[in-house]
Amino acid sequence: MYPWLVSHRQQLQALVRHGQLGHALLLKGMAGLGKRELAKELAQMLLCQHTSITPCNNCHSCQLNAAASHPDHHVITGEERSIGIDAIRQLGQVLNESARLGHGKVAVIMQAEKMTEAAANALLKTLEEPAGEATLILTSAHPEQLPPTVRSRCQQWLLPVPDSAAVLAWLSAQGQDGSLTALNVNQGSPLNTRDYLAAGTDRQRRQLLQQFAELAGHRHLLPTLQQGLLAEPRHLQWLQLLLQDALQLALGVNTALRLVDSEPLCRQLSRLGSARLNQALTELVQLRRTLQPTAGRPVNAALQLGQWLNRWTQLSAAGGRDGRLPH
């Protein structure tokens, strides 16, 4: 169990022991906190045949859970683009059957926000009238996307972002040279930060930001930079963080930078002044919204980004010549 989840496991275990856990639980918190692992542990607690010491890890039920073959433990992984009504109906039918081992049933719906409207409506009946000793566990990084009718029928359990120092210590124990910047880039998510560092993505971030800062004087970098930024949506988020830090310095705001390791770049860009930086940042935020898959009709991402980068190049070049904002 991840160290930042230990206290949550203990609290949930106490609820199970005292029969105070609701028939439906919503584990909510940002991506990369380990909700899947906590849901798995909770299912094992509920299905353990030695309820006074749950989970015992020795009984037949615990052994089946360890082998991922427990007949009364059902999981919808949420790995597909959406969770449809057929999957929820099938789950409801399974829960209406008698428990194979006679010790209740547990259903876990991962990334529950992926349920279609029809699927969510189909789940309501199960949430209102769970069969026998059935318990439903929903996990979601975006609980606000779940219908209020689903949320209101669940006992909600928030998993907050863990303390940065504790996460950095854990990353070090995992053999990763973590940093506060890497954590900030991943919104404090321990597991996402671990994967980010393991993939060497931090080097790519620093390279892209350096190219961006040099773009005004080295326009030949534009195609390479554009291609790198289009590779993943989060790459534009890196630029947004850089511009936010630069704007913060330009305004003289005395708070910690998000990209601590990019402070020299931030100070370099801050010399453009708050007006230019605010203009670029506002346009970038709008660009990111436009490029989101849910924003509406498809757009030419390369064209939109290229136009923004050209405007940025003109703006930053003008900032180096005089104090006027280009029109």
Question: What's the CATH number where 310 sits?
Answer: 1.20.272.10
| Same domain? 84 vs 142 | yes
Cβ proximity of 210 and 265 under 8 Å: yes
End-of-domain residue from the set 160, 192, 224: 160
Mean pLDDT for 53-76 is: 90
| Same domain? 148 vs 209 | no
End-of-domain residue from the set 108, 141, 160: 160
pLDDT given for residue 323 in this prediction: 43
Give the CA count within 13 Å in the CB-facing half-sphere of 96: 10
End-of-domain residue from the set 106, 130, 160: 160
- Distance from C-alpha of 20 to C-alpha of 231, rounded to nearest angstrom: 47
| Same domain? 52 vs 116 | yes
Tell me the average pLDDT of the chain.
91
**Domain coverage including residue 50:** 3-160
| Same domain? 80 vs 217 | no
- Distance from C-alpha of 200 to C-alpha of 208, rounded to nearest angstrom: 13
- Distance from C-alpha of 245 to C-alpha of 254, rounded to nearest angstrom: 11
Please say if the pLDDT value at position 212 is more than 90.
yes
pLDDT given for residue 298 in this prediction: 55
Cβ proximity of 130 and 95 under 8 Å: yes
Mean pLDDT for 16-22 is: 88
| Same domain? 96 vs 225 | no
Residue 183 lies in a domain: no
| Same domain? 139 vs 263 | no
pLDDT given for residue 325 in this prediction: 37
Please say if the pLDDT value at position 326 is more than 70.
no
Mean pLDDT for 235-244 is: 96
- Distance from C-alpha of 222 to C-alpha of 233, rounded to nearest angstrom: 18
Residue 181 lies in a domain: no
- With cut-offs at 50, 70 and 90, classify the pLDDT of residue 324: very low
Residue 173 lies in a domain: no
Tell whether the torsion through CA atoms of 140, 187, 250 and 290 is positive or negative.
negative
Residue 188 lies in a domain: no
| Same domain? 106 vs 205 | no
Closest CA to 143 of 242, 29, 37, 239: 29
| Same domain? 145 vs 241 | no
| Same domain? 91 vs 219 | no
| Same domain? 134 vs 10 | yes
- Distance from C-alpha of 94 to C-alpha of 230, rounded to nearest angstrom: 44
pLDDT given for residue 153 in this prediction: 95
- CA 13, 79, 5: angle at the middle one, nearest 5? 25
- Distance from C-alpha of 17 to C-alpha of 181, rounded to nearest angstrom: 41
Calculate the alpha carbon distances from 243 to 21, 164, 233, 264, 266 in Å.
46, 23, 16, 13, 7
Cβ proximity of 64 and 71 under 8 Å: yes
Residue 187 lies in a domain: no
Residue 170 lies in a domain: no
pLDDT given for residue 296 in this prediction: 54
Looking at the structure of the chain, the number of domains it has is: 2
- Residue count of the chain, please give it: 327
Please say if the pLDDT value at position 32 is more than 90.
yes
| Same domain? 254 vs 144 | no
- Distance from C-alpha of 169 to C-alpha of 211, rounded to nearest angstrom: 31
Cβ proximity of 114 and 77 under 8 Å: no
Residue 253 lies in a domain: yes
Residue 176 lies in a domain: no
- Distance from C-alpha of 218 to C-alpha of 213, rounded to nearest angstrom: 10
Tell whether the torsion through CA atoms of 142, 33, 119 and 80 is positive or negative.
positive
| Same domain? 122 vs 230 | no
CATH code assigned at 76:
3.40.50.300
